[in-house]
Amino acid sequence: MKLNIKNTFIEHLPADPNLENTRRQVEEAVYSFVNPKQTKAPKVIHTSLEMATCLNISEADTKSDFFKDIFTGNQIYPETKPFAMCYAGHQFGNWAGQLGDGRAINLFEVEHKNYNWKIQLKGAGETPYSRTADGLAVLRSSIREYLCAEAMFYLGVPTTRSLSLSLSGDTVLRDVLYNGNPEYEKGAIVARVAPSFIRFGNFEIFAARNDTKNLKILTDYTIKHHFPHLGTPSKETYLQFFKEVTTRTLDMIIAWQRVGFVHGVMNTDNMSILGLTIDYGPYGWLEGFDFGWTPNTTDRQNKRYRYGNQPNIGLWNLYQLANALYVLIEDVPALEAILKAYEVDFEQKSLQMMKSKLGLFSSDANDVKLLQDLEDNLQLAETDMTIFFRNLSNFSEARTGFNTIENAFYDLENMSDEIKMRWITWFESYETRLKKEHLSSEERKEKMDAVNPKYVLRNYMAQLAIDAAEKEDYSLIDTFYQLLKKPYNEQPEHQQWFAKRPEWARNKVGCSMLSCSS
Ligand code: AMP
Ligand code: MG
């Protein structure tokens, strides 16, 4: 395995001069050098060959001991210097000060086919930013991150990617239920990949410390390497940069809304400056369509990160980024105009996205109402989001409309006549509206099926893969990995995964609600 290594990040950005792996506040530096921990019995249990190919790593390479040692942190690739990044963040709406890569260690950059990829290990041991925790990750949360990042990529949602999933061979102590009964679990390491892991929090930390010099160095680096089309940094360029981050953030969140993904911890330290979905923790997939749902147990009280609030939180986070970049721009009205535009663009893009899910491409004065009525109906009785929208493409006439989507209801037997009537009324409006489109029903179905996935990583599916893996059966990980590479395709052999969540999974830990204890 010979990699085309680059070091643009560490060559251009200031390092912490302290080389000790001790927990501390780190100032005037973007990162600290730190080596991953040696592990007892590393074992690679899955690899994304597609991602490996992007890095010019062959299938044979992925089976080598060298690959295993590098991507579990047991060997340092020649002439590279691993490091952890320093960043801050707002957590659940409150300023949290310095956070940083507490359990992520950046290995190196690989350049291949004009792409520059950063590779990072998650769960490879403590760093100066580990605070009170151990720098490790458990198998269950690693499987969830590994599978979901790749699934999101194939859904067309901007995201970090996964390269490999490994067992460390060590055990990790975790209190899963936060009830004072910690247990030993299997430790794991995910190698994840992105063009950059820079977060909003990387900018916030310098702003909070009035370190304008390093804020400018970081911003200039980010523009030069990730937004090169914006040209030489200046006040105007910084504004354009901020504008582009707002657009990318919004597009990412609209994509989440389209597929029913709920991130669960949209703190500013978990917001990528490139608008990539990052840090898969207590995320979840909507089963019943519900704007009020959050997968994160820590968020159960306030539901700050609930499905319907994700676009607002994106904006709230962008306000924090605007505050951080302010000293470089010093133009409040211009920043406010960009933030205002996010709200306007959200309305427009959200409408367009929802219309595409319904197969509507022309404009009609009543479209907003049609969609509002639909969203209301979807929440009258528990209705599976994925099944509903996928089946809707089979709609032909109002009379049979209800039959088309019957399968999406969790408790059809006890559904009131009133709710059924409301659906029938909605289908009548939908049928009338479809007459204004110029597509044949086959063409409409094709377009709808390209935006309404048939297969997503349902919460209970990830849990089934986890339960099997705990017993050393890794086959379901591969089954889901292969299945989710073609989420929009009919895959008749996998029809069993196009199904509502089974009743046993309704309140099972891991299947409905998750904690941050990972
Ligand atoms: P999260 O909300 O999971 O993205 O994490 C918030 C902060 O806590 C980040 O700075 C993480 O690096 C840190 N963190 C989370 N889990 C651990 C852990 N097991 N060991 C060290 N740091 C952690
Ligand atoms: Mg994080």
Q: Which one-letter amino acid corresponds to residue 286?
A: L
Check whether residue 390 and residue 491 sit in a common domain. Answer: no
Check whether residue 167 and residue 27 sit in a common domain. Answer: yes
Judge whether 211 counts as a catalytic residue: no
For the CA of 279, the closest atom of ligand 1 is 4
The reported pTM is 0.98
Angle at 437 between CA 433 and CA 443, to 5 degrees: 120
**Protein residue with least CA distance to atom 13, ligand 1:** 102
Q: Has residue 454 been placed in a domain?
A: no
**Protein residue with least CA distance to atom 15, ligand 1:** 102
DSSP 75-113: SPPTT---EEE--EEEETTEEEEE---SSEEEEEEEEET
C-alpha closest to that of 514 among 292, 285, 180, 312 = 285
- Token pair of 236 as six digits: 């105007």
Query: Of the residues 32, 85, 99, which should be mutated to test ligand 1's pocket, given the most ligand atoms within 8 Å of the CB?
Result: 99
Check whether residue 60 and residue 115 sit in a common domain. Answer: yes
Answer yes or no: are the C-beta atoms of 500 and 287 closer than 8 Å. yes
Query: Of the residues 130, 266, 305, which should be mutated to test ligand 1's pocket, given the most ligand atoms within 8 Å of the CB?
Result: 130
- Rounded to 10 degrees, the C-alpha dihedral 392/394/398/403 comes to -80
240/366 Cα distance (integer angstroms): 35
**Protein residue with least CA distance to atom 20, ligand 1:** 135
- Token pair of 224 as six digits: 């030069």
Q: Has residue 517 been placed in a domain?
A: no
Read off the pLDDT of residues 326-363 as tens digits, 9 standing for 90 and up.
999 999 999 999 999 999 999 999 999 999 999 999 99
252/311 Cα distance (integer angstroms): 10
C-alpha closest to that of 509 among 45, 154, 177 = 177
Report CA(100)–ligand 2 centroid distance (Å).
Answer: 8
Q: Has residue 289 been placed in a domain?
A: yes
Check whether residue 224 and residue 238 sit in a common domain. Answer: yes
Check whether residue 216 and residue 194 sit in a common domain. Answer: no
Check whether residue 217 and residue 96 sit in a common domain. Answer: no
Q: Has residue 235 been placed in a domain?
A: yes
List ligand 1's pocket residues with C-beta within 6 A. Answer: 99-103, 129-130, 133-136, 265, 267, 269-270, 279, 281, 516
Residue partners of 217: CB distance under 8 A and separation at least 6: 13, 14, 30
Which ligand is closest to the CA of 296, given by its number? 1
Give the sign of the dihedral formed by CA 68, CA 74, CA 80, CA 85: positive
Check whether residue 255 and residue 310 sit in a common domain. Answer: yes
Report CA(432)–ligand 2 centroid distance (Å).
Answer: 47
Q: Which residue, 323, 356, 389, sits at the end of a domain?
A: 356
Read off the pLDDT of residues 110-146 as tens digits, 9 standing for 90 and up.
999 999 999 999 999 999 999 999 999 999 999 999 9
Q: Which residue, 200, 221, 246, sits at the end of a domain?
A: 200
Check whether residue 195 and residue 215 sit in a common domain. Answer: no
**What is the chain's pLDDT, residue by residue, as a tens digit (518 residues)?**
999 999 999 999 999 999 999 999 999 999 999 999 999 999 999 999 999 999 999 999 999 999 999 999 999 999 999 999 999 999 999 999 999 999 999 999 999 999 999 999 999 999 999 999 999 999 999 999 999 999 999 999 999 999 999 999 999 999 888 888 899 999 999 999 999 999 999 999 999 999 999 999 999 999 999 999 999 999 999 999 999 999 999 999 999 999 999 999 999 999 999 999 999 999 999 999 999 999 999 999 999 999 999 999 999 999 999 999 999 999 999 999 999 999 999 999 999 999 999 999 999 999 999 999 999 999 999 999 999 999 999 999 988 999 999 999 999 999 999 999 999 999 999 999 999 999 999 999 999 999 999 999 999 999 999 999 999 999 999 999 999 999 999 999 999 999 999 998 988 888 877 877 67
Report CA(421)–ligand 1 centroid distance (Å).
Answer: 49
Angle at 123 between CA 121 and CA 129, to 5 degrees: 90
For the CA of 281, the closest atom of ligand 1 is 3
Q: Which one-letter amino acid corresponds to residue 337?
A: A
Query: Of the residues 168, 269, 304, 305, which should be mutated to test ligand 1's pocket, given the most ligand atoms within 8 Å of the CB?
Result: 269
Q: Has residue 228 been placed in a domain?
A: yes
Strand residues in 123-235 grouped as ranges (E): 137-138, 161-174, 183-194
Identify the active-site residue in 16, 101, 170, 269. Answer: 269
**Protein residue with least CA distance to atom 18, ligand 1:** 135
Structural domain count, the chain: 4
Report CA(435)–ligand 2 centroid distance (Å).
Answer: 47
Range of the domain at 473: 459-505
Report CA(373)–ligand 2 centroid distance (Å).
Answer: 37
Q: Which residue, 135, 166, 200, sits at the end of a domain?
A: 200
- Token pair of 39 as six digits: 């592990």
Report CA(198)–ligand 2 centroid distance (Å).
Answer: 11
Q: Has residue 143 been placed in a domain?
A: yes
**Protein residue with least CA distance to atom 2, ligand 1:** 265
